[in-house]
Amino acid sequence: MISGFRVRGGEVAPFRFIHRTPFSRIPPNGLKPRNYDDAVLLQRGPVNLSYALDVWLSGRKVMLLEWDHDGSPDLASFAKGDWDAQLIDVVDPGAA
């Protein structure tokens, strides 16, 4: 459970993974509109797909991959950096 929301996840230091399914509630993003234009953008913002995988490194989200029932992926966010090589080292130490 993360911040009161039931999600599946795991941790392989220093990474944390969160897997969302259609049966998971999505936590609110915490954004508060500063003006009318911001409010409209928040209302018409991107729709979350049914499934998602969040990848966090040291408290910072570095990737969000979403997909729907048909399996088509959407890389919703990706932070540049050397974290991807670090992840490969953690998952498959002999790959590098």
User: Tens of pLDDT along the chain (96 residues)?
Assistant: 455 556 788 998 899 999 988 877 655 555 567 778 767 766 666 667 889 999 999 989 999 999 998 888 999 999 999 999 999 898 888 876
Please say whether the beta carbons of 45 and 62 come within 8 A.
no
Q: Report which of 54, 59, 55, 48 is spatially closest to residue 25, judged by C-alpha positions.
A: 48
The model scores a pTM over 0.75: no
Could you give phi then psi for residue 11, rounded to 5 degrees?
A: -140, 130
Length of the chain: 96
* Amino acid (one-letter) located at 32: K
Q: Report which of 85, 41, 77 is spatially closest to residue 60, judged by C-alpha positions.
A: 77
